[in-house]
């Protein structure tokens, strides 16, 4: 029998580690609930075109009367244009999740870059970058996001950018702390001694070591991005043609449906946001507890 190659051993260890994390994650009831809820919602959002008929979203094809209360035909009633609220919430999940995930990618990307650079290069680079991070950390981000989405061309892209650019500092600080911890280990010194460059150390050693925590942090960031997106859309900065949950609530208030007392138009989008945010948060928190030994005792 031949001895397994170093790569094979590394992969075997990685698989074992993932298995351990999974086992611990399973013991967290909140995290499990979050994961189950998320899987269901994402599946429903992705397969919406196969399971439902999008033509019901077009006001010209609306079949109901305006603001019909929930009934057997329209389970969640209709909006001010006679469209099914259930169908809109269902399709709204696609926009809300998409914007949330894209904004998170921007945010986590910037945060990881700044955090790794600050910890790896140290000295002046670190001082300047961390000053910058602390500045953005205390800046009232909604005001900055409002400013950004006002001056950019309105639409999904502006919202993704506005949310992403304002929410990265906590990731940057987390990544910096983790990178500092990793770089003080002897195996990094060994790599330096063997002649490794910055790129090699960062890509082969630092990034894999911080990836797990970044992933847990990403899950939490999505929750924030979705709330931020809904707030900006509610304030009228979103794209009216891409009906996210925030956009629906904006329409519900703007059309007078809330004053009319159409609770079936007000409650579902808000509950959907709360459910998704809670699910992301519980899953992320469970993951973070498993991955971050400092939190495990609590």
Site for other proteins in 156-215 (CB under 8 A): 163, 166-167, 170, 173-174
207-234 vs 141-151: helix crossing angle, rounded to 10:
70
How far is 271 from 188, CA to CA, in rounded Å? Answer: 48
Note whether 230 binds other proteins by CB under 8 A. Answer: yes
Note whether 79 binds other proteins by CB under 8 A. Answer: no
How far is 269 from 249, CA to CA, in rounded Å? Answer: 7
Q: How many residues does the chain have?
A: 298
Note whether 104 binds other proteins by CB under 8 A. Answer: no
How far is 218 from 211, CA to CA, in rounded Å? Answer: 10
Q: What is the largest CA-CA distance in the chain?
A: 78
Q: Please, what is the minimum distance in Å from the beta carbon of residue 174 to other proteins?
A: 6
In terms of phi and psi (left: phi > 0; alpha: psi -120 to 50; beta: otherwise), the region of 67 is: left
Only segment of 6-14, 44-52, 144-152, 200-208 that touches other proteins (CB under 8 A): 144-152
For other proteins, give the closer residue by CB, 85 or 223: 223
For other proteins, give the closer residue by CB, 56 or 264: 264
Site for other proteins in 279-298 (CB under 8 A): 281-282, 284-285, 288-289, 292, 295, 298
Single out the residue of 52, 215, 236, 255 in contact with other proteins (rule: CB under 8 A). Answer: 236
Q: Please, what is the minimum distance in Å from the beta carbon of residue 281 to other proteins?
A: 5
Single out the residue of 95, 108, 237, 251 in contact with other proteins (rule: CB under 8 A). Answer: 237
Q: How far is CA 84 from CA 92, 285, 298, in A?
A: 12, 35, 45
- Using an 8 Å Cβ cutoff, are 245 and 274 in contact? no
Only segment of 61-69, 93-101, 116-124, 256-264 that touches other proteins (CB under 8 A): 256-264
How far is 72 from 84, CA to CA, in rounded Å? Answer: 12
Residue 105, exposed/middle/buried by CB under 10 A (0-12, 13-18, 19+)?
Answer: middle
- Per-residue exposure over 197-236, b if at least 16 CB sit within 10 Å of its own CB, e if not: eeeebbeebbbebbebbbebbbbbbbbbbbbbbbbbbbee
Only segment of 108-116, 186-194, 199-207, 245-253 that touches other proteins (CB under 8 A): 245-253
Single out the residue of 6, 72, 123, 140 in contact with other proteins (rule: CB under 8 A). Answer: 140
Binding site for other proteins (CB under 8 A): 131, 134-135, 138-148, 150-152, 163, 166-167, 170, 173-174, 217, 220-221, 223-225, 227-228, 230-231, 234-237, 246, 249, 253, 258, 261, 263, 266-267, 269-270, 273-275, 277-278, 281-282, 284-285, 288-289, 292, 295, 298
């Amino acid at each position: 029998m031949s001895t397994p190659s170093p790569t094979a051993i590394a992969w075997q260890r990685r698989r074992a580690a993932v298995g351990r994390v999974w086992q611990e994650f399973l013991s967290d009831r909140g995290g499990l609930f979050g994961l189950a809820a998320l899987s269901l919602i994402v599946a429903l959002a992705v397969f919406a075109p196969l399971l439902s008929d999008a033509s019901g979203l077009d006001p010209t094809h609306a079949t109901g009367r305006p603001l019909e209360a929930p009934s057997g035909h329209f389970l969640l009633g209709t909006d001010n244009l006679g469209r099914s609220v259930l169908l809109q919430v269902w399709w709204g999940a696609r926009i809300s999740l998409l914007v949330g995930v894209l904004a998170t990618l921007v945010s986590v990307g910037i945060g990881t870059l700044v955090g790794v650079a600050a910890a790896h290069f140290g000295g002046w680079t670190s001082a300047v970058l961390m000053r910058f991070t602390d500045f953005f950390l205390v800046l009232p981000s909604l005001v900055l996001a409002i400013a950004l989405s006002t001056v950019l061309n309105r639409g999904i892209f502006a919202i993704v950018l506005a949310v992403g650019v304002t929410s990265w500092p906590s990731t940057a600080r987390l990544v910096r702390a983790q990178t500092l911890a990793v770089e003080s280990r002897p195996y990094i010194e060994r790599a330096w001694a063997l002649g490794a460059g910055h790129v090699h150390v960062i890509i082969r050693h630092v990034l894999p070591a911080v990836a797990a925590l970044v992933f847990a942090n990403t899950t939490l960031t999505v929750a924030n991005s979705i709330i931020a997106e809904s707030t900006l859309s509610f304030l009228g900065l979103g794209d009216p043609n891409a009906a996210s949950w925030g956009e629906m609530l904006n329409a519900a208030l703007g059309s007078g449906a809330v004053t009319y007392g159409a609770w079936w138009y007000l409650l579902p989008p808000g509950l959907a946001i709360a459910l998704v945010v809670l699910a992301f948060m519980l899953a992320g928190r469970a993951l973070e507890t498993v991955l971050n030994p400092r939190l495990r005792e609590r």
